[in-house]
Amino acid sequence: MTSISGDHVKVHFRMDVDEDGWPPASVESLWAVDLGDGTVRLDNTPWFVRGVASDDIVRV
């Protein structure tokens, strides 16, 4: 997790790239709001990361 400004942080999700090169990156970064208790609320929609969506709360 990288702090950018104010309450927003960048959360980095690592992804496994398959033998065909999909997804086209090994890390996807999403904006999130730091809730201050070791969790964040995702503030944008991922392109490649599976299993999370905007407004989900995840532990970091």
Rounded mean pLDDT of the chain? 92
Alpha carbon 27 to chain centroid, angstroms: 9
Write the Ramachandran bin of 37: left for phi over 0, alpha for psi from -120 to 50, otherwise beta.
alpha
At 16-27, the pLDDT tens digits run: 999 999 999 999
Written as six digits, the tokens of 1 are 């997790």
Q: What pLDDT score does 7 carry?
A: 85
What residue type is assigned to position 41 of the chain?
Answer: R
Strand ranges, E, within the chain? 2-5, 8-14, 27-34, 39-42, 57-59
Written as six digits, the tokens of 27 are 């890390």
With a cut of 80, say whether residue 8 has pLDDT above it: yes
Written as six digits, the tokens of 36 are 């201050």
Whole-structure pTM over 0.75, yes or no?
A: yes
